[in-house]
Amino acid sequence: MSGSSYLHHPQVGGMELSYEKLAVTGTDGQVLVLFHAAPGSEAAESLALLAQIAAEAASSEAATAEYGAAT
């Protein structure tokens, strides 16, 4: 099953994303849902910005953890 859905993220706002639902074999009705944006779309830019925000947050957390371990 596939379609599109509007999602709102507090840091980047609204995004129109396509999705695909894939059945997970060997489970009792579990479904894997994949969301993606059309290349070059505003939603793709928003997802790229979220990736950058997440990478910066992870880097900051790692630096804090290293500093804490060194003291």
The whole-number pLDDT of residue 71 equals 60
The whole-number pLDDT of residue 51 equals 95
Query: SS3 helix, strand, coil % of the chain, rounded to 5?
Result: 40, 35, 25
Report d(CA 67, CA 59) in Å as an integer.
12
The whole-number pLDDT of residue 62 equals 76
User: What is the full per-residue pLDDT of the chain (71 aa) written as tens digits?
Assistant: 999 999 999 999 999 999 999 999 999 999 999 999 999 999 999 999 999 999 999 988 777 776 666 56
The whole-number pLDDT of residue 70 equals 58
